[in-house]
Amino acid sequence: MLAITCPGQGSQSPGFLNPWLELPGVADRLHWLSAVAGIDLAAHGTTSDEETIKDTAIAQPLIVAAGLLSLLTLFEHPADGFRVVGAGAGHSVGEITAASAAGVISAEQAMVLVRERGRGMAAAAQATPTGMSAVLGGDPDEVLAVLEQHGLTPANINGAGQVVAAGTIEQLAALAEAPPAKARVMPLKVAGAFHTEYMSPAVAEMGRLARAVSTHDARVPLVSNVDGAVIHSGREVLSRIVSQVSNPVRWDLCMETLKDLGVTGVIEIPPAGALTGLAKRGLKGVEVLALKTPDDLEAAHRMVREHGSARSASQPTWRLVTAPVKGTVEVGSAGPGAAVTPGDVVARISSLRDTLEVRAHHGGTVVEWLVEDGDPVSPGQPLLRLHPEGSIA
């Protein structure tokens, strides 16, 4: 199974788009995305210096645009990707890239959302001097305990021995002076404490914009930063993207889900590198590729052929209620012929961490249960089939 991962802020570097703009049609497409975003993305991806592209309001649209452009070179037609990609996931702002790639929102909607996300988070960061530092190594429980002692938030729990702490400049300085045992603290070049309560002002505006955005259910299963759950509902994907602005990123749980799904190959799209490094340590035995330049396309196309699994891109995932996580299922009381309304709890899944309610995101009539009470289930596994309209008599 092939997974596509989409990087987040901090992965950009000066001039990283130069080789991509030499490919036919890419420069014109970037010019269009620049018009939507109201930013000269070509200049920022080719000639702007490190300090300029570190600006949140520039970095986020630049990263999403780069990812969307690269997908046009990875798959000749977007529908090709829907047929062969088994899962998609984005880290932080990369979730917007992944949502567009999976058909939840259009590229134009993605650019508007990321433009406003970047502006809102940049403004929120200016209100209080805050920042982020990577904590590398150490005992995971001890690392979290030390962050709590310093009043810091584990804004990114990335797995593979990496946690990103976020908080005030004073709190981060105290962490650097008294780090967890056997851990190294590395300050990050970001404008503020992302994925913490300090970003709350940006959430309200993002939420208002999201209410006006039309969505489609994901044509590729998406793994969420919130809890590693597999999400199909377009509205839920967008809702989670909004709330994630001020909540921690659990990339460790995303990698666990990719493992549970049976992923054998992972391609990280540009600006690639960070997620590939985490996957090499956290997904042992899985082939990984950082798609950094067009020189990597030959290897990427080979991975698509070898790890991609052909499936119907037109299968209506909205007729199915699927398992968001791995665990043991407790089947609900709705039997064949019963009416289900959007939001109804139809099952529960118990894992080692907790018990999660499974809700129907679309109304309909129960056709059949595809599992039995007590069955072990995997992320994305169909649980219940619904007829979307009225009775099935």
Catalytic residues: 92, 195
Strands (E), 63-178: 85-90, 130-137, 153-159, 162-168
Amino acid at position 273, single letter:
G
Cα separation, 226 vs 241, whole angstroms: 9
What count of other Cβ atoms lies within 10 Å of the Cβ of residue 151? 12
**Strand ranges of the sheet holding 183-187, from the earlier edge strand across to the other edge:** 153-159, 162-168, 130-137, 183-187
C-beta separation of 131 from 166 below 8 A: yes
Cα separation, 290 vs 267, whole angstroms: 6
Can you read off the two tokens belonging to residue 264? 């054998």
Distant-in-sequence, close-in-space partners of 195: CB < 8 Å, separation ≥ 6: 92, 153, 155, 156, 166, 244, 245, 246, 247, 248, 249
Cα separation, 364 vs 340, whole angstroms: 5
